[in-house]
Amino acid sequence: MSGFSSLNTAVTGLAAAQRAMDIAGQNIVNANTPGYSRQRVQLAEVATATSSSLFTGGGTGVGGVTVTGVARIRDVFVEGARAAAGARQAALTSQTSALTGAQQLLAEPGDTGLQATMDAFYSSWHDLANNPTDVAAGSVVLQRGIAVTDQLHALANGIAGQWTTARDSLQDTLTQANQAASDLADVNSKIAAGLVAGRPVNELMDQRDQLARSLGTLIGGVATPGQDGQVSVSVNGVAIVAGATAQQFTLAGAATLGGAAADPPRLMWGTTTVPVDSGSAAGYLAVLGTDLPSLASTVDGVATSLKDIVNTVHATGFAKDGSPGGPFFAGTDALSMSVVPTSPDQLAITPTAGTIDGTVAMQIGDLSDDGVAETALGRPGPSAQWRDVTTLLGVRVQSLKNAGDVQDSVVAAADSAVEADSGVNLDEEMTNMLQYQRAYQSAARVVTTVDEMLDTLVNRTGLVGR
Amino acid sequence: MSIRITQQSISASTMRGLQANLSRMQDLQAQLSSGKRIAVASDDPSGTASAMTFRSQQAADEQYLRNIDQVSARLGVTDNTLTQLSDRLRGVRDLLVQAGNAGLGADSRNALAAQAAALKSEIVDLYNTTYLDRPVFGGTVPGQQAVDPTTGVYIGNDQSVQTRISRDATVRIDVKGSDVAADTTPALLDRIVADLGTTATIPSADFTDLDATLSKVMQALGDVGARASRVDSTKANVDSHRLDLVARISENEDVDLPQAIMNLQSQQVAYQSALGASAKILQTSLVDFLK
């Protein structure tokens, strides 16, 4: 033990305190940085080889302190739980928002929905029955019929529009995911290189975890830690990032609502279909492949039921010129529905040719009643079907919203677990700063003390009596 | 193990709480400003199904009431026509009775015959009464006449014309021509006019036939009156059903105002206290106390 080695010991203390202050500063300035994990200096005492001699003193083994590393505080399990919760939440959010838009299209319950339009259409037939020779009443029937077809067209177009919007959003999501995958692969390779070279990689690791998490939110990718601080991400077994290499997923399947039932949109890796079950993409895929096509087909069902039921009764009548009643509606689905008669004279409202009688018009008007419609059609009538469509979509959106609310609290819990682990507590950092400030001051005091000792030794020795 | 709390987690949970508070406020605000509890189907799917059914039934009821107004007007016209018809037929019968006076000369007889002929043309006109361009005694005949005014031949048919006046009921709105003797009366009246002008004693067949006609008309009048009263009682039923639906629609869809306002008030109190508490907690840190 020499006076000079004591100085060295104090210097290691100064350096360690300095480094610890740096880290506290880094933590404080990044307190609000998304994805930042708090860091801690890891200190270790340094022992010197114990050897004793006349000149080195008594081998006490005091070597000071050293910074062995800067630890990044992060729990992979907590982080994994948060990523899974976030991915599920993203799926629910995207599905809910697309279906909420579809629900707005229905405009039910209200005075402007298809139900009200159909009711007005049926009513106009009763008015015509009351006054079978009135051309104006006949024109009203034709106009109300056209109003029904217009509304069906608007619905079909609206649903197709929602579908296209959802597909665009899916394409956007996929582009972001592919970008995140190549960014992640890049960061992975930097981390590996940094670790080999012994450079600090904590900040890169924060980036890495952020990217892995966004892959979870976008396409439900699950991160697995690999060698050299790298993270691999796979979607239900299909790898999108493996170490420093990234794959690109593509979007396949129908590009319009029409083909969606036969050829649903899907994510592909080369020729393999990627089974996506969480993340925004999963929500969009459910909307594109199932929800909107089935909504469109039930609306088509309403349209064809209306066509069948009105045409069946209309065909039993005779027009003004005595010719048998032709179809009132034509078309095969909601989008192609149209009104066939062009003038009130073509409406077949009399049950016997050559008479003036509104009986058939009355029977068509009677179809507004669910019971009459079901008897005539052999299945629930268009109004009942339409109520079913509205109610089922309402139940779907409601249950998605409820599931979303539950998932929100799951995500909140997972977020606070991660935050509790990795977040920066400013009070704690302040305390640390004070603590290391004191350590620095004390170490400096050791330096001055040793200096005074040496001063005594160097300048005062052998000067007795001078 | 106590959970580690950070400034971020405090502010995150504060934001979550305030957001939840605000979103409940917004829901209540939307309900209060629109007055509707159900704006879209997902607000209450089963309530939506009821709302749609109720509205559909309401539309049907309104149509039934419109139909009933038409039926009432038409039956009123028919009733009025039948009353006039019976008056004219009684007039003819009076002439027949006058003709029984043995002291009448040929001029007087001719005058009676001329009066009868005038009444006959009035009666034929009454048989051709129309409502909204449709003959009320002509069934479903094309054209606007039940009896040919020149030949006096019945050209209508006996097809009934029905109108729906409620979900379960239709009512016949015309009167069969044969039920008011539209098919026989013109010929009978021609015969009576001829008898009045020529024969000294009126054959008793003229009286019996005319009485039979009159009784048919009176019977038809009673029938029309009965139908009108049935239509009136149906109207009362349909109207009360419609009003009931209005109440049920409101009950189903409309916001319970006192409750919504109460909820909004308590929500506001909750929001303000959340804001106050957050402001206090978020302001302080160790920095405030270090020198």
pLDDT digits (tens, 9 = 90+) for A347-395: 999 999 988 889 999 999 999 999 999 999 999 999 999 999 999 999 9
- CB contact under 8 Å between B8 and A106, yes or no, is no
Q: Are B142 and B264 in the same domain?
A: no
Residue of A nearest to B37 (CA): A109
Q: Are B99 and B243 in the same domain?
A: yes
For residue B246, which residues of chain A lie inside 8 Å, CB to CB? none
- Residue B194 inside a domain? The answer is yes
What is the mean pLDDT of the segment spanning B44-61?
Answer: 93
d(CA B26, CA B80): 62
Residues 166-195 of chain B whose Cβ lies under 8 A from any Cβ of chain A: 167, 170
pLDDT beyond 90 at A193:
yes
Structural domain count of chain B:
2
- CB contact under 8 Å between B41 and A120, yes or no, is no
Q: How many angstroms separate the CA of residue B205 from the nearest CA in chain A?
A: 36
- Tell me, yes or no, if A385 comes closer than 8 A to chain B by beta carbon: no
The complex's ipTM works out to 0.87
Q: Are B135 and B225 in the same domain?
A: yes
pLDDT beyond 80 at B58:
yes
Q: Are B82 and B156 in the same domain?
A: yes
Q: Are the C-beta atoms of B88 and B123 separated by less than 8 Å?
A: yes
Q: Which of B5, B6, B52 sits opposite A108 (nearest CB)?
A: B52
Dihedral (Cα; A163, A165, A171, A176), 10-degree rounding: -140
What is the mean pLDDT of the segment spanning A255-279?
Answer: 92
- Residue B17 inside a domain? The answer is no
Q: Are the C-beta atoms of B99 and B202 separated by less than 8 Å?
A: yes
Residue B11: per-residue pLDDT? 85
What's the pTM value of the predicted model, to 2 decimals? 0.86
Which band of pLDDT confidence, cut at 50, 70 and 90, is reported for residue A228?
confident
- Tell me, yes or no, if B1 comes closer than 8 A to chain A by beta carbon: no
d(CA A178, CA A267): 12
- CB contact under 8 Å between B159 and A355, yes or no, is yes
Least reliable range by pLDDT among A115-124, B72-81, B91-100: B91-100
d(CA A218, CA A248): 14
Q: Are the C-beta atoms of A351 and A324 separated by less than 8 Å?
A: no
Residue A53: per-residue pLDDT? 58
Q: Are B98 and B201 in the same domain?
A: yes
For residue A391, which residues of chain B lie inside 8 Å, CB to CB? 41, 45-46, 48-49
Output A263 or A52, whichever has higher pLDDT. Answer: A263
Residue B159: per-residue pLDDT? 86
pLDDT beyond 80 at A54:
no
pLDDT beyond 80 at A3:
no
pLDDT beyond 70 at A51:
no
Q: How many angstroms separate the CA of residue A401 from the nearest CA in chain B?
A: 9
- CB contact under 8 Å between A425 and B60, yes or no, is no
Give the helix/strand (H/E) hosting A217.
helix A202-219
d(CA A128, CA B40): 34
CB atoms within 10 A of CB A8: 16
d(CA A215, CA A233): 8
d(CA B136, CA B156): 10
- Residue B23 inside a domain? The answer is no
Q: Are B79 and B174 in the same domain?
A: yes
Q: How many angstroms separate the CA of residue A242 from the nearest CA in chain B?
A: 33
Residue A60: per-residue pLDDT? 57
For residue B44, which residues of chain A lie inside 8 Å, CB to CB? 394
Dihedral (Cα; A155, A160, A161, A166), 10-degree rounding: 130
d(CA A83, CA A72): 19
Q: Domain holding B185: CATH number?
A: 1.20.1330.10
Least reliable range by pLDDT among A128-142, B55-69, B131-145: B131-145
As a whole number, the mean pLDDT across chain A is 91
Q: Are B273 and B196 in the same domain?
A: no
Which band of pLDDT confidence, cut at 50, 70 and 90, is reported for residue A166?
very high
- Tell me, yes or no, if A256 comes closer than 8 A to chain B by beta carbon: no
Highest mean pLDDT, choosing among A140-144, A255-259, A420-424, B150-154 = A140-144
pLDDT beyond 70 at A2:
no
pLDDT beyond 70 at A9:
yes
Residue A174: per-residue pLDDT? 96
β-strand partners of A67: A43
- Residue B139 inside a domain? The answer is yes
- Residue B273 inside a domain? The answer is yes
Give the helix/strand (H/E) hosting A223.
strand A222-225
Strands (E), chain B: 130-131, 134-135, 162-164, 170-172
Q: Are B241 and B262 in the same domain?
A: no
% pLDDT > 90, chain B: 59
Output A300 or B20, whichever has higher pLDDT. Answer: A300
Q: Are B260 and B205 in the same domain?
A: no
Q: Are B226 and B268 in the same domain?
A: no
Q: Are B180 and B278 in the same domain?
A: no
What is the mean pLDDT of the segment spanning A313-317?
Answer: 94
Residue B80: per-residue pLDDT? 96
As a whole number, the mean pLDDT across chain B is 90
pLDDT beyond 90 at B233:
yes
- Residue B262 inside a domain? The answer is yes
- CB contact under 8 Å between B51 and A109, yes or no, is yes
- Residue B8 inside a domain? The answer is no
Q: Which residues fall within 8 angstroms of residue A40, CB to CB, at 6 or more apart?
A: A23, A70, A71, A73
In the sheet that A266-269 helps form, which strands lie side by side, from edge to edge?
A: A250-252, A266-269, A272-274
What is the mean pLDDT of the segment spanning A238-243?
Answer: 93
Which band of pLDDT confidence, cut at 50, 70 and 90, is reported for residue B278?
confident
- Residue B1 inside a domain? The answer is no
Please give the residue range of the domain that contains residue B266.
256-286
Q: Are B108 and B129 in the same domain?
A: yes
H helices present in A108-134, as ranges: 114-130
Choose, out of A126, A313, A385, A409, the residue to mutate when testing the contact with B (most B CBs < 10 Å): A126
% pLDDT > 70, chain A: 95
Burial of B132 (0-12, 13-18, 19+ CB in 10 A): middle
For residue B4, which residues of chain A lie inside 8 Å, CB to CB? 420-421, 423, 425
For residue B38, which residues of chain A lie inside 8 Å, CB to CB? 109
